[in-house]
């Protein structure tokens, strides 16, 4: 059995470097794939910004394996545009830009964050997910829906795997799947190994961090050797996104521990 294939989330790791230097730093650390949140300030960045990012990724020799759609001002607490009438137009304006960048870099996973209450609209979320999936499907990509923990994201409505699955089922497309962020799920009290055993076939992507603290695997209480073995045994063959917080040169030392 081969080991898991990881992708460094360069929006939360290697942040001591400018964004355009992080793909090369990930490669130097021994990784062949990265993922990222939406890296631009708005839904439609200048062509030069997109070209510079694409060049940095290609020059580093890594693949972009996961990309968020524009999710608003994440630093200010926004968590997506998908389901809010006031931000729906911004989300739709981003669909073609994000899916085109993903296609150019052979990125097959795009994450659509739901958006904070109050005022989210379920029917609007379903309609926008459908539009996003239709655009992503042209290059063979899937759109994923993520559950976030309510402790850090108190206004986010999708806080469990069950809530995410319900939304995905409403969309009713094979190319809309679940982003299993195991840190968020564990923080909400879900039995992560059991979820893997029963629902890994519904995972379009997996991200990991340890709980508590959202640090690297081994820094908290989550049984990551067992979790990674369970993912492999359940047939999950996608990338595993490293979406944890860590500063310093030993951010990836746990892999050889």
Residue that is written with structure tokens 């059995």 in the block: 1
- Which is the catalytic residue, given 16, 58, 190, 243? 243
Kindly give the residue spans of alpha helices, DSSP state H, lying in 151-205.
161-171, 182-187, 192-199
Contact 199, 161 (CB under 8 A): yes
134 is catalytic: no
Distance CA(243)–CA(246), nearest Å, equals: 10
Q: How many residues does the chain have?
A: 257
- Which is the catalytic residue, given 104, 146, 170, 190? 146
Contact 30, 42 (CB under 8 A): no
Phi, psi of 34 (to 5 degrees): -135, 165
78 is catalytic: no
Query: Which stretch of DSSP H or E encloses residue 110?
Result: strand 109-111
Distances (CA, A) of 66 to 60, 127, 221: 16, 22, 26
Contact 131, 94 (CB under 8 A): no
Write out the two tokens for 96: 């073609």
Cα 62 from chain centre: 17
Indicate the SS3 state at residue 174.
coil
Distance CA(88)–CA(8), nearest Å, equals: 29
Q: Annotated active-site positions, please?
A: 146, 243
């Amino acid at each position: 059995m081969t080991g898991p294939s990881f992708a460094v989330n360069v929006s939360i790791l290697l942040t001591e470097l400018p964004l355009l230097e992080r793909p090369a730093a990930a490669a130097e650390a021994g990784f062949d794939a990265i993922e990222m949140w939406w890296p631009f300030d708005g839904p439609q960045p200048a062509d030069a910004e997109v070209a510079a990012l694409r060049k940095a990724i290609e020059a580093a020799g890594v693949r972009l394996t996961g990309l968020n759609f524009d999710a608003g001002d994440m630093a200010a607490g926004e968590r997506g545009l998908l389901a809010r009438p006031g931000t729906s137009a911004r989300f739709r304006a981003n669909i073609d830009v994000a899916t085109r960048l993903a296609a150019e870099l052979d990125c097959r996973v795009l994450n659509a964050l739901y958006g904070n209450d109050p005022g989210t609209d379920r029917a609007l979320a379903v309609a926008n997910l459908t539009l996003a999936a239709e655009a992503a499907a042209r290059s063979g990509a899937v759109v994923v829906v993520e559950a976030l923990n309510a402790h850090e994201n108190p206004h986010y409505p999708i806080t469990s795997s069950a809530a995410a699955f319900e939304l995905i089922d409403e969309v009713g497309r094979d190319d809309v799947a679940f982003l299993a962020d195991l840190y968020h799920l564990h923080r909400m009290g879900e039995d992560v190994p059991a979820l893997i055993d029963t629902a890994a076939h519904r995972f379009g992507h997996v991200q990991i961090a340890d709980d508590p603290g959202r640090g690297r695997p081994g820094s908290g209480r989550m049984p990551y050797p067992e979790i990674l073995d369970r993912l492999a045994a359940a047939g999950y063959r996608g990338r595993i996104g490293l979406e944890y917080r860590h500063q310093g040169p030993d951010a990836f030392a746990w892999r050889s521990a």
